[in-house]
Amino acid sequence: MKTLHFAAAAISGLLLAACNSPTETPDVDTPPAPETFANVTAERLLNARETPAEWLTYGGTYDEQRHSLLTSIDQTNVADLGVAWTYDLATARGVESTPIVVDGTMYVTSAWSVVYALDAKTGEELWIYDPDVDRSVGVNACCDVVNRGVAVWEGKLYVGVIDGRLEALDAKTGELLWSQVTVDQSRAYTITGAPRLVDGKVLIGNGGAEFAVRGYLSAYDVDTGDMVWRFYTTPNSSKQPDGAASDAAFESIGNVTWGDTGAWTSDGGGGTVWDSIVYDTENDSVIFGVGNGSPWNQRIRDPALGDNLFLSSIVAVDADTGAYKWHFQTTPGDNWDYTATQTIILADLPLGEGGADRRIVMQAPKNGFFYVLDAQTGEFLSGDAFVPLNWATGLDEAGRPIETPEARAGNAAFFQSPGPLGAHNWHPMAFNPDLNLAYIPAQEIPRAYSDSSSEALAGTKWNTGYDFAAGTAVELPPGTLQALRATLKGRLIAWDPIARVARWTVEHENAWNGGVLSTAGGLVFQGKLSGEFVAYDAATGDRLWGWDVKSGAASGPGTYAIDGEQYVTITTGWGSAYGLVAGIAFDDPLPPMVGKVVTFKLGGTGEIADADLPMIDRSPKADVFGDAAMQTAGLQHFQRNCAVCHGELVLSTGVLPDLRWSDYAASSELWASVVSDGVLSANGMVSFSDTLSSEQLEAIRAYVLSQAHIPGAPD
């Protein structure tokens, strides 16, 4: 036997020797080529469009068109797409991340700002970075503890953390390099947006305008985390200079648009820059979208009722200094949460003299108009309603909305469209520059804005100046829910910004929408709340492929190529604002919510594992108690304090617990231990003892149990 072994070894050695001619013999002394991780330079970012094998920044390129030049997957073969790999993000909270793919590695984020590095070809996990956020900050997040992604630069990776930190990580190891607090953490600031990298500076804004904050965009040094410039979007309460890049703009045009009294002087006025930031390479401008006023209700925010710059505006500043260049205000004197933070796309369209190319800015903000502006000057070129709306009849020659009188009446009887969730929300829009079509994830989710005495709202954590309890009743009249649901609509619109018309429209099952990817293969990809990922013909909207991803999918899809093979990827787990509040919108069953990265390729044979979703015992855990007056009071306190997280009328989508079936609702002591004593604050359910009396707590419990006992209550 020994002889045989020896013989086999000898033969192996001979074979090896035979296979390696002297010139091909590997030199064992030569170290392997250094692995590269996120070695992104200014040049690579500037050329991102020409290197479509990678996805280098949130919107794909600085223009943020989300249009890839990859063509391996096209209309003729998209039907052969199958699963390449999946990765479990281990969360049932909202996921909004667009993966960055660079040097063979995918960087993706999940709820609570956790960062994952994966092998982009196989999905193998390389490292995880958890910023270890105190879960009690979750109550500051209007729209779930989501994160839309990272930025990369010279071996580093940058992430905005939900509690207001901006952090730099080593792209190879996930090791923390620096951490900078970018907000006053004593106020309800959050960060959900993806940072952007421009010429050695990392740009980040924040959210929080549903509470009481003052918005701004900041630029930080990539190596040190030191602030380079900051542009505030509202004046400080005394209208004095901040020593910031925005000072000159407020002195010349901003301050006069604000009165001297009103809630803004203590609340900051809002105007958070929570999503869209693009870099216009031609004009060296950073162009960003500004959010709504705080509080929403302008009569309470600023009784002078001026335009309130720069709320709901698109603003352009100098990339090096942050100095003001131009602005366009989509909704002067915002009164309805009409943010202009939605996707900003830069393109060259034949809108110049004699049909010459002109560099333009496009946006479809919450207010329902599709805007085209000159990128150099901000000049208004066109604006058209892309959904039915009733707050304005159109725009004047300067692009200013012509409001309907009902829109500022603050009358609960006026069901306004769009509502605060907007005609378009954070879901990324895409643009195909060959067809000159913008793909808008559009929605119709109307709502009544009900003025109320500020007394009723004093102390509530949300600070909108509207009463979310108005017009609601303990027991809805028969048919009310069905009638409400019939008003909710979602669609994908292919909008022609030159002819200013929709070229095609696809109607969706649900109102809340999904982000879009356009490719030079003539395809448009979009995830849906119903749990499908779909490819459409970019020119006609014909459906060419669809896949059950076993979860609602709302984030921006991406595409990349490795070893010549094209991949298409999307993160699932829909969550976000609608995911918290809108259980009322759904018949059973609710769209499943499972946090995953799902990546496809031609001929992929992988499978998406069924989610191990917990079974919920949908039965009341205690009897109804309290009289009608108590339950009605409970309804009002619930709508004002609890509905934005646990669902309108206690109809939860399941992102956060459905209180109707909660054991905590069964006992007065257990209920108070959570809502008053904050025993679950480590999970994000903080104490409301500063907001609600023990009598009010019991009234809410009485209302919650009454809802649990309504026969045939919708799940």
| Residue 337 CB, nearest approach to Ca ion (Å) | 5
Q: Are 369 and 330 in contact (CB under 8 A)?
A: yes
CA distance 9 to 503: 70
| Residue 426 CB, nearest approach to Ca ion (Å) | 10
Helices 628-641 and 694-708: angle between axes, nearest 10 degrees: 100
3-state secondary structure of 198: strand
| Residue 645 CB, nearest approach to Ca ion (Å) | 15
Q: Which is nearer to Ca ion, 91 or 190 (CB)?
A: 190
CA distance 412 to 452: 10
How many residues make contact with Ca ion (CB under 5 A)?
2
| Residue 185 CB, nearest approach to Ca ion (Å) | 20
Q: Are 101 and 54 in contact (CB under 8 A)?
A: yes
| Residue 216 CB, nearest approach to Ca ion (Å) | 16
**Residue-wise burial string across 176-203, b where 16 or more C-beta atoms lie within 10 A, e elsewhere:** ebbebebbeeebbbbbbbbbbbbeebbb
Q: Which is nearer to Ca ion, 338 or 567 (CB)?
A: 338
DSSP class of residue 413 equals T
Strands 558-562 and 227-232: unpaired
Q: Which is nearer to Ca ion, 497 or 579 (CB)?
A: 579
CA distance 315 to 34: 42
| Residue 339 CB, nearest approach to Ca ion (Å) | 5
Token pair 């013999």 is found at 25
3-state secondary structure of 561: strand
Which candidate, 182, 175, 143, places its Cα nearest to that of 161? 182
DSSP class of residue 43 equals H
Q: What's the farthest any 2 CA atoms get from each other in the chain?
A: 100
Q: Which is nearer to Ca ion, 54 or 337 (CB)?
A: 337
Q: Are 73 and 523 in contact (CB under 8 A)?
A: yes
Q: What is the DSSP string of 165-182?
A: EEEEEETTT--EEEEEE-
Q: Which is nearer to Ca ion, 163 or 337 (CB)?
A: 337
Q: Which is nearer to Ca ion, 337 or 698 (CB)?
A: 337
Q: Which is nearer to Ca ion, 180 or 463 (CB)?
A: 463
Q: Which is nearer to Ca ion, 107 or 462 (CB)?
A: 462
Q: Which positions from 289 through 308 interact with Ca ion, judged by CB under 5 A?
A: 292
CA distance 464 to 358: 39
Name residues whose C-beta falls within 8 Å of residue 386's C-beta, 6 or more positions apart in sequence: 364, 368, 369, 370, 423, 424, 440, 442, 493, 495, 502
3-state secondary structure of 408: helix
Give first-to-last CA distance, the chain, whole Å. 72
Spell out, one character per residue from 77 to 116, where the chain touches Ca ion: x when CB under 5 A holds, - when not: ----------------------------------------
Q: Which is nearer to Ca ion, 86 or 331 (CB)?
A: 331
| Residue 499 CB, nearest approach to Ca ion (Å) | 32
| Residue 670 CB, nearest approach to Ca ion (Å) | 33
Q: Is 124 exposed, middle or buried (0-12, 13-18, 19+ CB in 10 A)?
A: exposed
| Residue 281 CB, nearest approach to Ca ion (Å) | 30
DSSP class of residue 592 equals P
| Residue 299 CB, nearest approach to Ca ion (Å) | 18
Q: Which is nearer to Ca ion, 169 or 209 (CB)?
A: 209
Q: Tell me which H or E stretch contains 313.
A: strand 313-318
| Residue 233 CB, nearest approach to Ca ion (Å) | 13
3-state secondary structure of 516: strand
Q: Is 337 a catalytic residue?
A: yes
Q: How far is CA 693 from CA 532, 624, 665, in A?
A: 45, 21, 16
Catalytic position from the list 337, 374, 467, 658:
337
Name residues whose C-beta falls within 8 Å of residue 394's C-beta, 6 or more positions apart in sequence: 385, 401, 402
CA distance 684 to 592: 22
Q: Which is nearer to Ca ion, 229 or 426 (CB)?
A: 426
User: Is residue 374 a contact residue for Ca ion (CB under 5 A)?
Assistant: no
3-state secondary structure of 625: coil
Q: Are 432 and 453 in contact (CB under 8 A)?
A: no
Helices 694-708 and 668-675: angle between axes, nearest 10 degrees: 120
Spell out, one character per residue from 619 to 648, where the chain touches Ca ion: x when CB under 5 A holds, - when not: ------------------------------
Q: Which positions from 329 through 348 interact with Ca ion, judged by CB under 5 A?
A: 337
Q: Which amino acid is at 337?
A: D
CA distance 99 to 119: 12
Q: Which is nearer to Ca ion, 60 or 368 (CB)?
A: 368
Q: Is 216 exposed, middle or buried (0-12, 13-18, 19+ CB in 10 A)?
A: buried
Question: Is the C-alpha dihedral spanning 344, 349, 351, 356 positive or negative?
Answer: positive
Q: Tell me which H or E stretch contains 700.
A: helix 694-708
Q: Which is nearer to Ca ion, 167 or 210 (CB)?
A: 210
CA distance 285 to 363: 16
| Residue 274 CB, nearest approach to Ca ion (Å) | 8
- From 284-292, 496-504, 549-557, 687-695, give the range in contact with Ca ion by CB under 5 A: 284-292
Q: Are 122 and 600 in contact (CB under 8 A)?
A: no
| Residue 315 CB, nearest approach to Ca ion (Å) | 17
- Contact residues for Ca ion, defined by CB under 5 A: 292, 337
Catalytically active residues, by annotation: 337
